[in-house]
Amino acid sequence: CEVALISAVNVRNCLKFYKIAEEINASVLQTHCSQLISTHWTDFISEDFQYLPAPMTYKLFKEKTK
């Protein structure tokens, strides 16, 4: 199921999929989304993070801005 979802993930929706993956413990999907987020980190704007809860946004910022 995760593999099927991965094919639907793109830069515009990867943050939403990342959130869902974390909520349902879909580690393969979450890793894929995380890699996509890392690759395109500088392309995101603050509004892109509006779908994520504050703790999840903080976690991403902490991981991606090292």
pLDDT band per the 50, 70, 90 thresholds, residue 66: confident
Alpha-carbon dihedral angle through residues 21, 56, 52, 39, given to the nearest 10 degrees:
-70
Q: What is the pLDDT of residues 5-39, one digit of tens each?
A: 999 999 999 999 999 999 999 999 999 999 999 99
The neighbour count for residue 26, using CB atoms within 10 Å, is 19
The neighbour count for residue 27, using CB atoms within 10 Å, is 11
pTM (2 decimals)?
A: 0.88
Residue type, 15: L
pLDDT band per the 50, 70, 90 thresholds, residue 63: confident
Q: What is the pLDDT of residues 33-55, one digit of tens each?
A: 999 999 999 999 999 999 899 99
